[in-house]
Structures are given as structure tokens and as C-alpha cells.
Structure 1
Amino acid sequence: MAAGGLSLYKGSDLIHDYSCSTCEENDLNAEAQHFCTQCEHYLCDKCVGIHGDYFKKHVVYGRKDIQKWAGFSMDRCAQHGNKLDVHCDDHQELCCSICVALNHRICSSISHLPDLARGFLETAEFKQLPAVVDKMRSRLDELKNVRTKDQDYFIDSYKNIIAEVKALRKNINTILDQLERKTVEQLDRMMKDLEKSIKDDLETCAQMDHQLKTMLEKLQQITGKNKETSSYIGYIKCQSKLSEATCFVQEIRQNDGMKFKSDESVVPFLRNLKNLGDIKQVQVYKTQSSAQYSIKIKEDNDVCDIVGICELPGGEVVIADLANYRVKLLNKTYRVTYHYNLPDVILHLCHITDNDVAVAVGTEVHFLTLTRGKLQAVRKFTTKDDSWSVAHHQGQLFVSTYNAINLYTIKGKFVKKIYEIYCDNFQVIRCAVCIDGERIYVTQPDGSKLITLDKTGQVISTLEDADLTDSIGLCVSPSGHVFVCGWESGTVLQVDQEGRQKLATTARKADGVCQPRSVWFSEQNSTLLVGNESDTITVLKLC
């Protein structure tokens, strides 16, 4: 290298990590020892002095601050700081002379940049660049906003989990305190009994000792003509008292006091716990794109009202049209390929297994199956009241009425009432069951809320949100993702599996959602299908 920034003609074989920009312009080769951030120029020891005379306020960094040299320069090599001269066609890289010398000597095609750039300013590719950059910047801004909201959400989630952990710890402490208190109470009772027993024994000992002493003294003091008889009587009484004392002494010796034997399962159980519970990262979905698909057919007399929607294993979609008393079959491109007419108002439907669906029709539940591209009736059973929704879980059907949820077998036998609200107006509109059957989700439009029940029908959480006005349709995916519709608000929300918190407002009216009545999440292609009170369904691609 050129010591002290000594300038040599460019024909020199010396290769520097950074070359002086000013010398390079004068066809000289000198190693840069300084960098000016304002000019984006590399400077040797000679040129830095001249530069300082002209630009006294510019900040110049030396070799000690070389980490600050990495600025952005259009025509400079980011790695070596030299001017970019050529393009390696093999690696599709812009190169300076040092890049070529070190990394591209054996490359077969290297083009001179002025030759490649000739006429480029007039190309459509270059003219469209500002628009492409602006579009990407807009997407980056959107992503920043989304991630900022995600950051806030994760902070809230972190705080909530910490609160739950502390609450669990407090609950465990309460349980341990109760166990300790009960154990100590047992010990206190035993101690009290033992203290009384010891006190009684001490009194008995003193009494027997006094009696034996007195009896012996009186026995030894016997005189007179009946001495022998009286002595015999005294002897017998004394022996009786000795026998009583002997038994008492033996009983006292058999008492070993108190011992404590801990429950051997408690400590190993606690030691085997890795933590107080599992922490899972919740997958939150957002709308990437949306599209509308017509589901109206020529036989329809009224505007469609899609109150139920589900997907079959083959990708076909089945929808329930309340207004036209029809169940419609859609193919994978969401085109109606078949319809099945029913005799009464269809209020809901759900997927059972394979290609079978259950349809809530008035006071009946009908079963349909897909066979050779057509929906065919299999059987039906009668319910106690109008069936407002139907959900399936492991051979059982949860059928909701206007104010209750009843459990039926798949054959139609009534099992029991799960949940009931005493009221004069309609309350229970839709219900869905999570994959493990531990939670039942219920929408109640009058309160614009989502209620979550345990499997016995006890309320475990209630969610109310401004984006959930007149809640109606809902679904639970096989992986446990929960989505619920707000009919009046024109929204679809994703909530957590416990039904306690809104994770995101996944879709709004701007996404084409129009008075949503039903929803289905397809995990096959991360697509949300929304049934509207209109002649279209909204298909949302999620990310």
C-alpha cells in the first residue's frame, strides 16, 4: 500500500481497501485515510488538507473511526469505497476494480457500466421506478403501522400473562396457606388433647402416689387384737391399688408422642413441574386481499341471506340461504354448482364428518351428504323448539333455540339442556364448539357480545367490543382459531381461544363485508369466507 497516502499512477498494481476519491479522479492511485460524510469522499493524507481548507465545517473521520465510513453512495462500492466501473453478469453484481481483482477474475462475462447504461433513462423500467418505490414505501409504512400495533398488543399480552402467572401463583399460595392452616389446626387439636391427657396423667400420678403412701402408712400403723385381719384387708387394697398403678404406668409408656409424615407426592410433583403453564404465540390473521363472488341463481326470488357456511374436505363450500329456503353447493372457485331446496326457513348449518352436513330447518335438523357433485337428503329428526343453530362435536349436536342450547345425539335423541337464559326476547342465536369440546362460544346480539361457556354450560368469560355490534355468525377452525361477525358493525373479529380478548378486527366494510351473517375459516388456504345479507359472499385472503 502507498504509505502516508502517497499518490501513484493508476497503472500501479497496488490495491487498497479504500482509495482516495480525489486522486482517483486525477487518474492517481492513493489509499484513503479519511472519509467526509457530507461529500461522501474518501481522502488521502494529502487531499484531506486541501479538503479542509475548502470545507471547514464538514465532519471528517479518520481510520480510528472507520466504522463510521460506511455511508450510502450511489456510484461507490459499499465494500471498498471505490468507484463502480463494471457489472458482473455471472453474479448480477455491481463491481469496482477491487471487487473484480478479488472475486471476479474467473467470471466469463463482465460488462462496462457506461455501455449498459446507454439509453436506460428512456426505458419504461426506469420511468416506472418512482411509482414502484412509492408503492413499496407505502407497504412498508403499512407494515410499520401494523407492527407498531402488534408491538403494543404483545406488550399488553405480556402484561396480561404476567398478571395471570402472578394470579396463579397467588392462588397456589392461597391453597398452600389453607393446607398449612388445616395441618396446623390438626396439630393444635392434637396438642390440646395431649396436653389435657398429660395434665390428667400428672394428676392421676399424684393421686395414686398419695393413696399408696397413705395406705402403706395406715397399714403399718394397725394395732390391736384384729391386727392380722385388718392387715390382710389393707394388703388386699394395697395390692389392688398397685395393680391399678401398674396398668396406668404401662399405658403411659406406650404413648410415643407426635410424629409428622408429609404427603410424599407433593414435593416430587412440584419439582417435576417445568413451569406454571405453557405460553403459546397466538397467530393473528390480517386481511391481505378480498373478492366478491355471486351466489345468486335464477331460481332465487329474494335477495340472498347466507346464515350458514362450511367447507367440505374436498374444498367444496356449502352455504345456507335463509331467504330462498336453499342449501347451495359451491366449487373451489366459489361458483354455485348445485342447490337443494328445503320446506322451511333454514337458520344454520354445520359440517359433521366427511361430506355430511347438518342443517337447522324450523323444528327439524336435516342431514345432507355430497354424492357425485350433488347434495342428497339422508335423514332428519325433530327438535323441541325452533333450531336457530347447530354445532357438532364427536357425535353430539349442540342445537340452540331462542333462549337455550340443547344437547342431542347424532341420532336425534335429546340428552340434556346445556345453557338457558330466562327472557322474553331472542337471546341465543349461534353457537360453536372448540375442537376439544371444553368451550362453547355463544353470540347474543342484544348485548353485542360473545359469551364463552365451559362444557357444563357455566359462563367462563364475556367479551364486548365496539367492533362487535349485533354479533351473529361465528366459527372455530380445527386449529382453534375463533372468528365472530358483527352484523350491524359490518366486521369480522378474531378472538382468543378463551373468548376473553379481541386479537384483531380481521375484516371491515372496506373489505367488502356487508352485514355479515356467517363466517368460515379455511385452513387449507388461509381464507376467510363471509356470508353476507346480500347476493354475494366475501372471500378474504389472510396473512
Structure 2
Amino acid sequence: MKWPLSKKMEISLLTCVIHKSEQITKYCEDHSQLCCSKCVELNHRLCLQVTPLPHAARRKSTDFKNLSVSTENILSQMKQCQTYQEDRMMSLKVSYKEHERLIVDGLRVNIVSYLRECETSTVNTTHEHMQYTVIDMREKIKYLLAAFEKGTIKEKKEELNLKQAPLKVVKNSCIRLHYELFHLHVAIPKVLGKPELSFIASKKCLENIQQSDIFIKENFSNHVFTVNGKSVHNVKMPSDSDTCIIEAVCALPNGQVLVFDSNNINVKLLNQQYRVVSHLDVSDGLIWDMCVWDMCVCDMCLITPTEVAVAMHDKVQFITVSQSQLTKGRKLKLQPYCTAIAHNQGDLYICSRTALYKFTLSGELVCRLYKDSSADFTVYKCAVSPTGDRLYIITSWDQNKLLTLARDGTLLATYSDPALGYPWSLHVTPAGQVLVCGCRPHTVLQVGWEGKSKLATLATREGGVRSPWSVCYSSTTSSIIVGQKWDDTILVYRVE
């Protein structure tokens, strides 16, 4: 930090970001961009305020103290983002190592089974009449090992590399952006006596901060949302017999939204203006009295960009969206009672009061991931991180807890907060941000991806939310959608 500005850094500052062989000579006031002669010729010929660099440097002043603080904050967040991607890669690697171990154990069982078969067949048999010779056994075992190495292990390693690839891209981008911004941060104090270099350094630093901020928002799950507007939309239909209870919300990539009204037992499709354009009855003839309602907790999750799964009691109904119409698809009957459903990479996660199960999309039980029989509703609702390396569970209404599990069901963290009173719903965004509804205190919280701390309170009773019953984030519209209990409206919070 105390060394003078190097010639290499000076050349780097003066070099145009777009045209690497050109030096910066102008500044476009219309676009707030540093320009070389080629930039002016190609992109700024029609701009009215393209001024020579010395003139722009004299006219513009920069608050270097605030710029330094902003830079340090972004550098810190970028490091956290890099660490987060590395943790996700390590989690995947550990998970696949465990999977490899299970495969090896399976191979060992097959070899032992084969050897026992050979032993049984050769008992009381003379050497010349043996069904299995030593050579045969050796060849068979070599075949099993070769098939194992070339097939299963190779396939799993390729699958691991495929899943790690996008994480590596993000991690490398973190390293690159951090490197570029850090060197600008170091350079700025060294050029304060040189107006032109100081002006260039500050502008490049601001551009990098903006670029890094956008990158962090898109890729880092601990980016804290900021609410900058709210709208209210009525979703009650004339055919609805009772006040709505919006039990679940799913945002589609095209900007449409699906809401599950558990009190009228239907799924409603909302257009981009949040008006109901289609609906589908999912009651299957069920008489929906208060006794049944108390027993049947419902949920819904996105399967594909045009398909959702609705979980209700002991069944899962798949629904397809096509040309603004809803159509029932296949149905699964599940043995455990369903209180929640989540989907990630072809796996269904089902909460069943006191346990969390993993199923295939065809309804086959894979395993039980977690169980807690200490109370009636210890595993109530669940959500999954985008890469599947974190599972989140909210517990019974009186415990006010959020649990974070590893991919294999190992408990990683427990977070308890009075603001989570009567927790009813949670959601993980495509970038990994964790949103949780506290129904009793009327709050929507953002919790860190580690599941250890609250990052922000995004909605409160004072801000208009009443008994938040469901929550979802739409990347398309950059908004958080909140469904409420005993309320015909949904709340849409615009966020940054």
C-alpha cells in the first residue's frame, strides 16, 4: 500500500477497458463513460457532451472517502461470495465421496456373494468336475472391477464435474472481480495528486463496484434484499365460496404466478398483472369442513418452468400450465402424511409431521433424511438450496425454529427467533437467499444461507402484512410475493 504507483498500474489505468490497444482520452457526460478514440467513433458520435479528459477531470469531484468505504464493502462481500461457492463445491465433493463409498460397499457385497456361490458349487466336487475354476473366478472379479471403474465411478465423477462447473465459473469470476477492484482500491490513494489519473481511477472503481454489486446480487445468497415498493392484488374469484387462504405461491419464469388457495381448494393462475386468468379445482370431491382443514396442511412446488406439484394429505397432484390454462397431470399416492413438498434436480422432498423424506419424481421412496419425534410437528415445511447441498426445515408452531441440514440430513444449524413466531412457510430463491414467514408476529424475514442469523426483516404488520401464510421470490420481476391467511389479497414487494 505504501509503494508508489507502478508504471504498469499507470498504463493499466490509462488503457481503455474495451479497446485494449487504445488509451482513454475523453469522457462522455451523456453515458458517464470513459472513452478512447475508437469508443467515441463507434458508440458516442451522437452524444452531445463528450469532453477531453483533462477538462472532465477538472470539472468533476469525487468523494474518495465514501468511495473507499463502498469499495471495501464490495471487496468483503466478494470474498464471502467466493467462500460460499467453494463451500458448495466442497459439499458436493463430500456428498459424492460418500456416494462412491456406498457404491464400493455394494461392489464388495457382489464379489463376496459371487465367491460364496463359487464355494457352494465346489463343495464335495472333484477338481476336474469343478463348475468354477480359480481362473474363472479371477476373470469374473476382474470383469466386475473393470465394469465398476469404467461405468459407475466414471459416470459419477462426470456428474460431479458437471455440477461443480457452474460453481467454478462463479468462483473464478469472484476472484477476477476482486483482483480488479482491489488494485483500483490500492491505486486511488497514490494518484490523488494527479487529476487525470485520479479521475480515471475513481470512474473505473465506480464501474467495477456496480458490476460487482450486480454479480453478487445474482450469485450470492447472502445478498440482503432491500424493499423499494409494495402493491396489493385481490385473487378472490366469484366462484370462491369462502375467504382465501393462500397456502403456497410459485413464480413461473414467464412472470405468471400460481397460488394455491387451500380454503377454496383450488390452484389459480395469475398473469403478469396478478389477475386470475385460470383456475383448477383440486378437491377431488373432498368435503372441506374445519375438521378436515385442521388435518390437511397443503403445499406446492415448482417442478419445471411449466409444471407444479401440489401436495395435500397423502397425495401429490401434478399440474401443467399451457397457454394460460391449467391441466391436471399424473397423481402420486404417498404413504406418509404430507405437510410440505419441495423439488430439486429430480428429487422430491416431503415433510411428514416428524420426518423429512426424499422421493423420486415417480413416487419411489429413496430414504428418510431426518426424524424428530419429540413433538407433533417437528418437521413442518421445507425448502432446498439451488444446488441441493442445504435443506431448510421450519419446526412446530411453538418452537419458532429454522433447521439447516446437509444433503445427507445431518443437522448443521438451528436458528431460533421470536420474529419467527408461528412459522408457516419458507422459500429459497434461485440465488440461495432464504425467506421465512413468521405468522404470529406478522413478519417476513431473510435468513443467512448458513441458517444461523437473521439478515433482514422485509415485511411487518406495520407495513401491511397480516398472517403471512406463504412466500415466493420471482427473479423475472425482482419481487417477493406473500400470500396471507383469511385474506383475499396477495402482497407483492419490489426488491433490489
TM-score by length of 1: 0.49
C-alpha separation in 2, matches of 1:413 and 1:289? 44
Q: Pairwise mapping of residues 254-265 of structure 1 onto structure 2 (< 5 A)?
A: none
Question: Relative to structure 1, is the Cα distance of residues 449 and 507 closer, same or farther in structure 2, using a 3 angstrom cutoff?
Answer: same
**Matching residue within 470, 487, 491 for 2:422:** 470
CA contact (8 A) 1:290 1:511 kept: no
Partner residue, 1:452: 404
Instruction: Quote the sequence identity (%).
Output: 35
Q: Is structure 2 residue 343 aligned with structure 1 residue 392?
A: yes
**Matching residue within 353, 357, 362 for 2:308:** 357
SS at match of 1:456: coil
CA contact (8 A) 1:304 1:324 kept: yes
Partner residue, 1:407: 358
Partner residue, 1:537: 490
Partner residue, 1:223: none
C-alpha separation in 1, matches of 2:375 and 2:482? 30
Q: Pairwise mapping of residues 298-447 of structure 1 onto structure 2 (< 5 A)?
A: 298-343=238-283, 344=286, 347-444=298-395, 445-447=397-399
1:347 maps to amino acid: C
Deviation at 1:338, TM superposition (A): 1.1
Partner residue, 1:109: none
> Which runs of structure 1 show a deviation greater than 4 angstroms over 4 or more consecutive aligned residues?
277-281
Q: Is structure 2 residue 242 aligned with structure 1 residue 289?
A: no
C-alpha separation in 1, matches of 2:233 and 2:382? 26
C-alpha separation in 1, matches of 2:250 and 2:380? 17
Deviation at 1:297, TM superposition (A): 0.8
Deviation at 1:424, TM superposition (A): 4.1
Question: Relative to structure 1, is the Cα distance of residues 514 and 286 closer, same or farther in structure 2, using a 3 angstrom cutoff?
Answer: same
Q: Pairwise mapping of residues 112-261 of structure 1 onto structure 2 (< 5 A)?
A: none
C-alpha separation in 1, matches of 2:463 and 2:494? 11
1:293 maps to amino acid: H
1:360 maps to amino acid: A
For structure 1, list consecutive stretches of 5 or more residues without a partner in the other structure. 1-89, 92-102, 104-146, 169-273
SS at match of 1:319: strand
Deviation at 1:537, TM superposition (A): 0.4
Higher relative contact order (CA 8 A, sep 6+): 2
CA contact (8 A) 1:346 1:359 kept: no
CA contact (8 A) 1:286 1:542 kept: yes
1:443 maps to amino acid: I
Q: Is structure 2 residue 445 aligned with structure 1 residue 493?
A: yes
SS at match of 1:423: coil
C-alpha separation in 1, matches of 2:346 and 2:467? 32
Partner residue, 2:127: none
Deviations 1:417-442 (A, max 9, x none): 11111134222221000011110000
1:311 maps to amino acid: A
Deviation at 1:446, TM superposition (A): 2.4
2:302 maps to amino acid: H
SS at match of 1:511: coil
Aligned residues: 286
C-alpha separation in 2, matches of 1:392 and 1:318? 16
CA contact (8 A) 1:363 1:387 kept: yes
SS at match of 2:337: coil
CA contact (8 A) 1:320 1:346 kept: no
C-alpha separation in 2, matches of 1:467 and 1:446? 12
Deviation at 1:346, TM superposition (A): 6.3
1:539 maps to amino acid: V
C-alpha separation in 2, matches of 1:393 and 1:520? 16
C-alpha separation in 2, matches of 1:509 and 1:290? 13
For structure 2, list consecutive stretches of 5 or more residues without a partner in the other structure. 1-47, 50-58, 60-65, 88-170, 179-215, 287-295
CA contact (8 A) 1:430 1:473 kept: yes
Which of 1 and 2 has greater Rg?
A: 1
Partner residue, 1:228: none
C-alpha separation in 1, matches of 2:261 and 2:490? 11
SS at match of 1:510: coil
The alignment yields a C-alpha RMSD, in angstroms, of: 3.2
